[in-house]
Amino acid sequence: MNILLLGYGKMGKIIGEIAESRGHAIVGKINIDNRADLEKLDPASIDVAIEFSQPDAAVENISWAISRGIPVVSGTTGWLNRKPEVEALTLEKNTAFFYASNYSIGVNIFFKVNQFLASLMQGQHEYKASIEEIHHTEKKDAPSGTAITLAEGILAELKEVKSWELNQGQTTAADVLPITSKRIDPAPGTHIIRYQSEIDDIEIIHTAHSRKGFALGAVLVAEWIIGRKGIFSMNEFLSF
């Protein structure tokens, strides 16, 4: 399989190493410094693009590939207000687009555990739900895409909670889910769900020990998406 890497930072480099260890070829490594090299590539030689770039470059990078019929596996967060236009372009070009805020198999199991716990907490008004996420200092967006996905899972089940907001020490209303974001090196990613009451606390935690789980998941999805058409997520990949 010939893979184009759109974004070649820390994640892109680990993805490239894992892909090559699985017998795949990296036909392009694009970052902010060499984006003009995209026009030198032959789209027909690219089987799939894996996009882990920056929020301000994601749509342009994804659209370049999709408009040329190249399926895209994307993990960049912080740009999702424009996701509908990317999905529309995908359908127009009859190719495939796969987005996940986190490609770790463990995290995606954690998403399901989070939503199940939220369903159990529905109606337990003495508990206040909150999210804390910790990432490395190079992460640009806050809260993380993973934290937002966790928040969406909680909002889907806790009817008394109407929205989430980034918490910077302020007191939040009872119907608002606070998300605290911390940037501490060398943390690759920790997410904590808390339900606190005067009597006790309930917590579930996912802690990543390295980026390898995210990178391997992205490569596995890239292998899976070949030959498929449409819009996909980890729910389809893991058959949840």
Instruction: Exactly one of 93, 135, 191, 206 is catalytic; name it.
Output: 135
- Per-residue pLDDT tens over the stretch 31-46: 999 999 999 999 999 9
- Cα-Cα-Cα-Cα dihedral sign, residues 99, 102, 108, 112: negative
**Could you tell me if 192 and 120 lie in one domain?**
yes
pLDDT of 145 reads 87
Query: In the annotation, is 139 catalytic?
Result: yes
Domain count of the fold of the chain: 2
Instruction: Report whether 30 contacts 52 (CB < 8 A).
Output: no
Residue 221: domain span: 2-103+212-238
**Could you tell me if 54 and 23 lie in one domain?**
yes
- Helix, strand, coil content of the chain in percent (nearest 5): 40, 25, 35
| CA–CA dist 201, 182 (Å, integer) | 21
Residue type, 180: T
**Domain harbouring 188, CATH code:** 3.30.360.10
**Could you tell me if 13 and 99 lie in one domain?**
yes
| CA–CA dist 126, 208 (Å, integer) | 31
| Residue, of 218 and 210, whose pLDDT is higher | 218
**Could you tell me if 89 and 145 lie in one domain?**
no
**Could you tell me if 99 and 171 lie in one domain?**
no
pLDDT-derived band of residue 163, with 50, 70 and 90 as boundaries? very high
**Could you tell me if 163 and 125 lie in one domain?**
yes
Average pLDDT score over the chain:
94
Place of tokens 């892909």: 19
| CA–CA dist 11, 194 (Å, integer) | 29
Q: Are strands 176-183 and 163-166 parallel, antiparallel or unpaired?
A: parallel
Residue 219 has pLDDT above 80, yes or no: yes
**Could you tell me if 6 and 57 lie in one domain?**
yes
Instruction: Report whether 50 contacts 29 (CB < 8 A).
Output: no
Instruction: Exactly one of 139, 140, 191, 212 is catalytic; name it.
Output: 139
**Domain harbouring 48, CATH code:** 3.40.50.720
